[in-house]
Chain A
Amino acid sequence: MEKHRAGKLLLLAFLLCISAAFAVLNGPVHIPLNELFLDENRKILSLRLLRVLLAALTGSGLAVSGAALQAILRNPLAEPYLLGTSSGAGLGAVIAIIAGLSSIFLPAVSFLGALVSMFFVYYLSKRGNRVPVESFILSGVIVSLLCSAVIAFLVSVSPDEALHGVVWWLWGSLQMYDVKLFFIVAALVTPAMAGVYVFSQDLNAVSIGEEDALHLGIKIEKVKKVIFFLTSLITAGLVCVSGVIGFTGLILPHITRLWVGPDHRTLLPASCLLGAVFMIVCDLLSRTVYAPFEIPIGVITACLGAPVFVILMRKRQRVT
Chain B
Amino acid sequence: MKVDQRLSQITVCAVVVSTLLFAGDAAARAGSLRVISLSPATTEILFALGLDEEIVAVSSVCDYPEKARFKEKAGSFSNPNMEKIIFLKPDIIFCAGLEQSGTVRELRRLGMNVSVNDPVSMDELYVSIREIGRCTGREREAENIIRGMSEEIERVESLLKNTPSGKKPRVFVEIWHSPLMTAGKGAYLDELLRLAGGENIAYDTVRPYCYFSAEQVIKRDPECIFLMYMDNAGSLQKAGRRFGWEHVSAVRNKRVYNDIDANLLLRPGPRAALGVREIYKRLYP
Chain A residues close to B by CB (< 8 Å): 27-29, 31, 40-41, 43-44, 47-48, 103, 159-161, 164, 167-168, 175, 177, 287, 291-294
Contacts and interface: CB of A to CB of B under 8 A. Distances in A.
A293 B79 contact: yes
Contacts of A167: 78
10 contacts: A27-B83, A28-B83, A43-B86, A47-B83, A160-B207, A168-B102, A177-B109, A292-B74, A293-B73, A293-B76
B110 A164 contact: no
Nearest to A171: B79
Given A160-B209, A177-B106, A292-B73, A44 B86 contact: yes
Interface of B: 60, 73-76, 78-79, 81-84, 86-87, 89, 98-99, 102, 105-106, 109-110, 207, 209
Nearest to A30: B87
B61 to A, nearest CB: 12
A103 B102 CA distance: 9
Contacts of B99: 164
Nearest to B100: A164
B209 A29 contact: no
A167 B99 CA distance: 10
Nearest to A157: B206
B87 A294 contact: no
A291 B82 contact: no
B83 A293 contact: no
Contacts of B84: 28-29, 291-292
Given A164-B78, A294-B79, A31 B87 contact: yes
Contacts of A175: 82
> 6 smallest A-B Cβ distances: which pairs?
A292-B81, A164-B99, A29-B87, A292-B84, A177-B106, A292-B75
Given A160-B207, A177-B106, A177-B109, A294 B81 contact: yes
A64 B150 CA distance: 63
A77 to B, nearest CB: 31
Contact of B98 (A31, A48, A160): A160
Contact of B81 (A41, A168, A293): A293
Contacts of B207: 159-160
Contacts of B76: 293
A47 B82 contact: yes
Contacts of A293: 60, 73, 75-76, 79, 81
Contacts of A164: 78, 98-99
Given A41-B87, A292-B83, A294-B79, 8 more contacts: A31-B87, A43-B86, A44-B86, A48-B83, A164-B99, A168-B102, A291-B84, A293-B79
A48 B106 CA distance: 14
A161 B81 contact: no
A202 B99 CA distance: 47
